[in-house]
Structure 1
């Protein structure tokens, strides 16, 4: 028996559709995002999760709550599952970011924003903390954000930072599945739930574009 964690990215928001950096800005799901959350909930409920934990930002919490209604589970909230803070870039499109900060854009390092290593550490620590509350065969669903999930999963898998971009971005209401084995965590699925399509996310261009 092994613990498993499903890391679910939130549904679409208007800022996703407009290619705006969201970060810690508390943007709601749009109509498409609500429908995506309902679809994901119907699929993930069949896995019979034991626990649901969400970022405190409403786009993730609304996504998690859709699953909670189907399964009858309460949704715990953890601020450590928030998206990477975007500093001065929050609310701006990628074109606006490139025009104003070409050097920082190349490194995807927002002025006043969070360092990727800090995000990776807080998200992976949150996943470990909540997974430790599961039984040996339990299933946890984490509702979070594109960059936060990718960075947290990379850190949890023990990948060196120079390889973190090897994991591609997550589509809205797509998920990754982790399993805890005798030698640590391993990735069973990544970006499941959708066919390949452009990724609209706060994550870096190198992992969200062809």
Structure 2
């Protein structure tokens, strides 16, 4: 199975599924649509994935893993704290690029498919690793020593509730804008900051 995961067709299915799920959510995207856009047959799809839910979970897990790897490389960089913070926000921007309301609803709110529980569990696992990284960063003097990383974990789960608020979502053109507003608010408050 490991060889299959590295095949060109497998990678094309993953890339296509991510693009379509981020843009249209899970429910609206069909296996047929993924296959057509990826240029693979349904037989090839089923060779790699038993169903669309398994594919969605694999895509999401892959995103979390890649995000953690990028974050760890960033934390190891020998650059000033302000530069690290800007790059953390850039990582968040890249991770939420082209994210749609449908994606947010299907992956974070809808309970029918089981994706919500899966996403919450994967997010919790990622945050537990991040807590350790933030604490190590505090020890190195990168972040304030009176900062409680657990606060970020708690409010990240509150963000899911915030994303259900249609009135608040309506203030922004895309869910990504709201997520980035939230991230910048937590990072900078309402103070001006250098965006360069």
Whether TM exceeds 0.5 here: the answer is no
TM-score by length of 2: 0.30
More helix, by proportion: 2
Q: Which has the larger radius of gyration?
A: 2
TM-score by length of 1: 0.29
More strand, by proportion: 1
